[in-house]
Homo-oligomer: A and B are copies of this chain.
């Protein structure tokens, strides 16, 4: 969409930085970063983008997503080319929804801005790729954060997808403000799935401190996790392929028998 069409000079591009390894960035995301005049995002994501002349950096703390989104939109209205960065994919529990919330609630002329989303490799797909194909059948992505939705909604959704036989990627599994949610989610899974169901704890995937664990559901219930951990609960059909001296492959076959 050109400037002539929109009538506005500025733009907001919401960019997915992928899981961490800079080689997992798309070329399109890199081009968008190179064109930006302002860079907005949570501190560790802004830190991933190399400094360069002409790029103004606005790093902010966590949990201020809508303020950050408004800031981006205001800068764009003043004519700036703004990049908002998220880890992973910006459309998956990240900044894209926050920007569109701000647009909907904001002044009418924000709607005429050029606002684009550059997709990225989201954490669940990066983690899955490191271990095989655990999301090879039907699957879902559920955030365990109850900042923005009641815990009852989280558990109702979990129970539905557990009973339906989907693989489940849990985003935001744990933090100092949410210490017990992951344990409750795994306890619920244990009521429905076999104790031997594979569960992946994939920490800091593709980053220097990456740590991958393949556990049983029984083991997972007491295993440590942190904010950087992606948890994938296998489906009833998910299988392990054991290997000598290495982590097993984990995959979910494409077939389901009745």
Q: Chain A: residues with CB nearer than 8 A to chain B?
A: 1, 18, 21-28, 31, 65, 89-93, 96-101, 103-104, 111-112, 115-122, 125-126, 128-130, 132-143, 148-150, 152-153, 156-157, 160-161, 163-166, 239, 241-244, 246, 249, 251-258
Contact of A254 among B23, B25, B98, B164 (CB under 8 A): B98
A251 to B91, CA, bound (A): 9
Contact of A28 among B24, B135, B239, B244 (CB under 8 A): B24
Contact between B18 and A23, CB atoms less than 8 A apart: no
**Chain B min CB distance to A52 (Å):** 18
A31 to B21, CA, bound (A): 14
Contact between B241 and A91, CB atoms less than 8 A apart: no
A244 to B258, CA, bound (A): 49
Contact between A153 and B166, CB atoms less than 8 A apart: no
**Chain B min CB distance to A47 (Å):** 20
Contact between B117 and A140, CB atoms less than 8 A apart: no
Which residue of B is nearest A255, CB measured?
B148
Contacts of A117 in B (CB 8 A): 128-130, 132-133
Which residue of B is nearest A122, CB measured?
B125
Contact between A249 and B138, CB atoms less than 8 A apart: no
A253 to B118, CA, bound (A): 18
Contacts of A163 in B (CB 8 A): 160
Instruction: Jot down 23 A-B pairs with beta carbons below 8 A, ordered by A.
Output: A21-B28, A24-B26, A27-B27, A90-B133, A91-B128, A93-B136, A96-B129, A96-B136, A97-B133, A97-B136, A97-B253, A98-B254, A101-B251, A103-B241, A111-B242, A112-B243, A115-B249, A138-B141, A138-B142, A138-B157, A139-B141, A153-B165, A156-B164
Contact of A133 among B26, B91, B138, B164 (CB under 8 A): B91
Contact between A135 and B92, CB atoms less than 8 A apart: yes
**Chain B min CB distance to A197 (Å):** 17
Contact between A92 and B125, CB atoms less than 8 A apart: yes
